[in-house]
Structure formats: C-alpha cells, structure tokens
Amino acid sequence: MDLSSLPREKWWGDEYLVQLEGFWFRPQRVKPIKRVINHYNPLPSDVILVTSPKTGTTWLKSVLYSILNRSSKHKLAVKHPHELVPFLEVQVFAEADEPPILPAPSDGPRLFATHIPYQLLTKTLDYSQCKVVYLTRNPKDTLVSLWHFVNKWNMEKVDQPWSLDEATDKFCRGISLYGPYYDHVLGYRELSLKRPENVLFVTFEDMLEDPHGYVKKLGEFLGCPFEKDEEDEVEEIVKNCSIEVLSSHDVNKSEESTTWFPLPCNSFFRKGKTGDYKNYLSNESIQRIDTLTKERFHSLGFMY
C-alpha cells in the first residue's frame, strides 16, 4: 500500500496521522493493521480486548489476564501488562517478514488486545464467535490522559509542549489516534447491542465504581465464572490490578521503554481517576466536547 496516497494531517510536533477508511493512524501502524485485517482469524476461544488509546487498556489487560489465568499475582509483578497481553497490530502482527507469534490454543484461551475500530474489523469479528470486551472512557478524561501521554513522548523531541487547546481541537475534529473517538465507541457499542453474547461493553467509570462486580461480570462473560467460595480470589484480582499495586512493581515503574513503544513503561500509569479533566480543560473546551457528546452519544441513548 502506498502510504503517500492517504490523506494526512499534522498531529503534534512533527508527527502526523494518516487516514484509512475514515480513521486516523500513525503511518507506521497502517501496514500491521492491514495484516491483522487480512490474516487474523480469531478462534472461537479467543478473547480480544478492544479500546481507544488512554481509556484504561493497561488496567483491563491485567484484569482479563488475571481472570483467565486466576493465580496471576506473580506474573503481574514481573511482566508489564502490555507484555502479558500483546496488541495485535503492535506486537503480534508487527513484522511483515515473520509469521505472527500466536500462542497455542491448547494453552487456554488466547488473550489479545487491539485499538482497531470495528468499522475496519467487521469481517474479522462478524464471522467469529470469539469474545470481545470493549472498554471506553468519558471523552474529556480520555483527551486529558492522551494529552499528558503525548507530552511525555514529546519531551525528548521538541521543546514546545503540545498545547491542550490544540489537542482538544484535534480530538473534537476526530484527528486522534485510532479516532474519531466517537465513531470508535459507537461502532463497538452497536455491535455489543446486536451480539451481547459475544461483545461486552464496559466503561472505565463503571469499573472504577464497582471493580468487584465487574471482575465477576467479566468472569461470567468469558465463561469462567467465580464460584461463591471464590470471593477472596475476586478481591485479590481487584487489589492486584489496582493502579496502586500495579504501578508499584519495578517492571511498571521502569523508565526503560519497551521494544515496541518509545515511551517508558511507567507512562501507562498516571492517576487512574475520573474527572481529572476538571483540573485542565477550560469551560469553553468542556462545552465544546459536551455538545459533541450530546450530538453523537445521547441521541443514541448512550449517556456520558
């Protein structure tokens, strides 16, 4: 594929995004994304976590890994959640010349993650009985989290931080990693309503309010429910996957970056709260996002 033929927009610093089938991606992701679309055939036992960036992916990776592997405490203490649960388009299908590294299904359900929008994965998911967990987060906190993340990334490249006004404008215009955010959420929201047995739609805010209830709900959805006498196990998972515990492990505190992403491992953990946007966004920006949210979500009965 000729990347230069794709529409492109400046993102931050000298980074730009290219548009493929209505969504915006970093140019180097386009080919691996195409490989996932063309070559990934999910097994019925596969579990795929789908998110937009900065909606709590790292958290849910550790939760799903723990649910499927039960005693995972030790693993979580020594491996970053992104190593335990690889992204399809970033790790598994990263190399064009090498066959993807897919674990043997005999070792239990394979757990992957992706940010690819449903609109591009329609065929892949519509013909599979695999389980999809979609996690989303309110747009204002997602934007503020992304802005912090990018500025950490930015630090070594350009002197000027990425302004929040510019980040807000890009986000509202849909020019965001794997965005437009609203289309990303709605694609999976509709799919979850159509195929609730295969697709579970979860919000960061609901998880934060009732992590215990959601660990149990996810266990049921994945076909490995917790028995009545396993309450302690549920509690352990909640605790081991909390931001306090996860971010205290050396592997997650590390300033080293992974082989596949140019940011330190600790960049995936910041506050992990809801409503942090109030400390950063202007009233004008809040209004602009709220209006968009009303137009795009509320009209379909999805409240944020």
Helix (H) or strand (E) holding 126: helix 118-126
As measured in angstroms, the least distance from the Cβ of 5 to ligand A3P is 30
Q: Known catalytic residues?
A: 115
Contact criterion met (CB below 8 Å) for 29 and 37: no
For the sheet containing 111-114, what is the strand order?
A: 111-114, 47-51, 131-136, 199-203
As measured in angstroms, the least distance from the Cβ of 58 to ligand A3P is 3
Closer Cβ to ligand A3P, 55 or 124, answer by number: 55
Closer Cβ to ligand A3P, 129 or 248, answer by number: 248
Query: Which residues of this protein are in contact with ligand A3P, per CB under 6 A?
Result: 51, 53-59, 141, 145, 148, 241-243, 246, 268-272, 276
- Minimal CB distance residue for ligand A3P: 272
Closer Cβ to ligand A3P, 8 or 73, answer by number: 73
As measured in angstroms, the least distance from the Cβ of 44 to ligand A3P is 27
Pair of tokens at residue 193: 């309503």
CA dist 105 and 285 (Å) reads 47
Q: What number of CA atoms fall less than 13 Å from residue 301's CA on the CB side?
A: 3
Sign of the Cα torsion 220, 224, 230, 231 reads negative
CA dist 245 and 252 (Å) reads 10
Q: How far is CA 105 from CA 109, 123, 201, 203, in A?
A: 6, 22, 25, 29
Q: Smallest Cα–Cα separation from 230: which of 220, 221, 243, 222?
A: 220
As measured in angstroms, the least distance from the Cβ of 98 to ligand A3P is 26
Closer Cβ to ligand A3P, 46 or 141, answer by number: 141
As measured in angstroms, the least distance from the Cβ of 173 to ligand A3P is 21
Closer Cβ to ligand A3P, 10 or 273, answer by number: 273
